[in-house]
Chains A and B, each alone.
Chain A
Amino acid sequence: MNEEQLVQQLEQIAAKEIPDDMNKWPDIHTQLVQRRTRSRAIRRTLSGIAAALVIVVTGLVGSAFSQGPSSDPGLDHVQELGLLQPLNLTESHDNMTITLTEGYADANRIAVWMTIETDEQPILLPTIMPILSYANGDFLNAGLHPMPLDTTDPHRLKLVVSFDLVDVLPDDQPVDLRLTVNVGGMPMPVIPEGVTPEPGPIPPEYMIDVPALPPFVFTFQLDVQQALILTPQQTAEANGLGVTLDQITLAPSEITLRLCFDLPDGGDWQPKVSVQVDGVAGNLMGYRLTQLPNPAETRRCADYDIALGVTPESRQLEVTVDRLQTSASFTPESMARAQERLAAQGITVEFEVGQGGFNWKIISAPDDMDEPAIGLLVWDALSEQYAGPWSFTVDLPTDD
């Protein structure tokens, strides 16, 4: 047998065992949901918050959307300013109706408000996947942030999905968009009231198959609100390293900052950023490097999206980089260090590492801290950290 035949045989053997049409995405998606659900279950049980965990529809909504913030001062702001544009587009498949009620666009992001209604099974929000593109189908590079607004009725949900744009959207003309909402096509865990699942995989009797519906496709046009781009190029020094506030894109619903920072070493360091406008704090929605990282580089730049309202009357922007930090790591050393850091804040946690991934249990915590806040502190504590702070104050231009 020669090498060519060996290659053919390997391909043939592999293809016989693993078919071309294999699709394990639903299983992978379910495992991701289960891990989040399991994490909630363990934490809630041990912290004694509730006698019985109820993972019904609203619980799943909270779980699946736990990646994003639960409030958005930027969208609240544009709503107050009356900048939402009515859409009133409705599409129905089987017994589900999706209505896009309003939309909003500025240089930094696009947001769509919608209601989802059905008279059959309760709506499982994690099975709903919105995808935004240009109306002609061209790819729109953006990060998705869904946020439920009202989940009290499991048959009628209201939510807003916002898309942080990687490239600044021109504001001199309306933008033509297409929103495709895919629903179902995957198994989901639904645990009845009064049942507390054991840590580990969710038993099959609590899994339901959510059938796929045809895609809900909407095309619409939005005006784009104007943005202001500033280039303060301020540099602050602390602890031997410099951080530069290079550029600010101010849009009504979101601020994008470009920060360039010295690196302590070749690790994946990122600034821990907080932003205020006239004393009002914003939410960090995401960040992205401005160029491909080079292991040999000593300085790096990244863009940070901050949900926060800005008006022509806004006076002052304050940016603070408390520290540089790396991604969380899960070595025994990093976990021991994290426990020490958390203990200094009055939080006691235990870590679990196993086949199901990484998990933690809250043993004790101050009464005024909720689970999401503790979760953020845990992730921070697991990272390498390099102390700052680096502070910047920018006086915003006025019409005076």
Chain B
Amino acid sequence: MDDLDSIKRLKAGDIGGLHALVDRYQVKAARCAYLISQDRALAEDIMQNAFLRVYDRIDQFDLTRPFEPWLMRIVVNMALQAVGGRPLIADVDALALLDPAPDPAALAEAHEQEAAVRAALSALSPEQRAVIVLRYYLGYTESEMARELEKPLGTVRWRLFAAHKRLRGLLAHLKGGRA
């Protein structure tokens, strides 16, 4: 059963259609929510609520459009809503790695790189994390991001630029070139 079949079934009231969509997208949706919320339990809640929203609003889904971006837009918006106004606390130890003073060779180690990226993500605003996730985790183009976020292309470019700039500043000392 492909997405279209699943959605048609769901539109016809068959909950099996939702089951198939959950099986197919729950992991990616939860990971997307985690990267924005930085909270595993919250990410799982966001993912579940996103599928409940799909269930509630499937009648409004336009069958000419692909399902995944529609779902991910719900996930991203719910994640932003969930963490909006709640400042994230960055990992202090990992943030220390962002200090340009430490040895660059040590920072190049994989686990340190990961810790640095985690900390850098935490240091971004939720909106900046969202555009980074859309661009680099979900692999959307700027035009696709503009469409899914329902924002002008210029706004998306500006947000991406700002997020990029901040991320680049936080990760500049890591080996492998510029983010």
State the A residues within 8 Å of B (CB).
Answer: 1-3, 5-7, 9-15, 17-20, 22-25, 27-29, 31-32, 35, 67-68, 129, 131, 139, 141, 143-145, 164, 166, 268, 286, 288-289, 292-295, 327, 355, 357-358
Contact partner of B16 among A19, A23, A131, CB < 8 A?
A131
Complexed CA–CA distance, A31 and B31 (Å): 21
Report if B103 contacts A (CB, 8 A).
Answer: no
Complexed CA–CA distance, A11 and B132 (Å): 12
Complexed CA–CA distance, A17 and B48 (Å): 16
Judging by beta carbons under 8 Å apart, are A18 and B19 in contact?
A: no
Report if B150 contacts A (CB, 8 A).
Answer: no
For residue B118, which residues in chain A have a CB less than 8 angstroms away from its CB?
Answer: 13
For residue A24, which residues in chain B have a CB less than 8 angstroms away from its CB?
Answer: 22, 26, 30, 44, 47-48
Contact partner of B179 among A2, A22, A143, CB < 8 A?
A2
Interface positions of B from 62 to 88, Cβ below 8 Å from A: 62-64
Judging by beta carbons under 8 Å apart, are B26 and A14 in contact?
A: no
For residue B16, which residues in chain A have a CB less than 8 angstroms away from its CB?
Answer: 129, 131, 144
Judging by beta carbons under 8 Å apart, are B117 and A286 in contact?
A: no
Contact partner of A10 among B8, B35, B52, CB < 8 A?
B35
Judging by beta carbons under 8 Å apart, are B174 and A10 in contact?
A: no
| Cβ of B42 to closest chain A Cβ, rounded Å | 11
Judging by beta carbons under 8 Å apart, are B9 and A143 in contact?
A: yes
Judging by beta carbons under 8 Å apart, are B52 and A31 in contact?
A: yes
| Cβ of A272 to closest chain B Cβ, rounded Å | 14
Judging by beta carbons under 8 Å apart, are B174 and A1 in contact?
A: yes
Judging by beta carbons under 8 Å apart, are A10 and B133 in contact?
A: yes
**When A1-B175, A7-B136, A18-B27 are in contact, do A31 and B13 touch as well, CB less than 8 Å?**
no
| Cβ of B34 to closest chain A Cβ, rounded Å | 5
Judging by beta carbons under 8 Å apart, are A144 and B14 in contact?
A: yes
Judging by beta carbons under 8 Å apart, are B113 and A268 in contact?
A: no
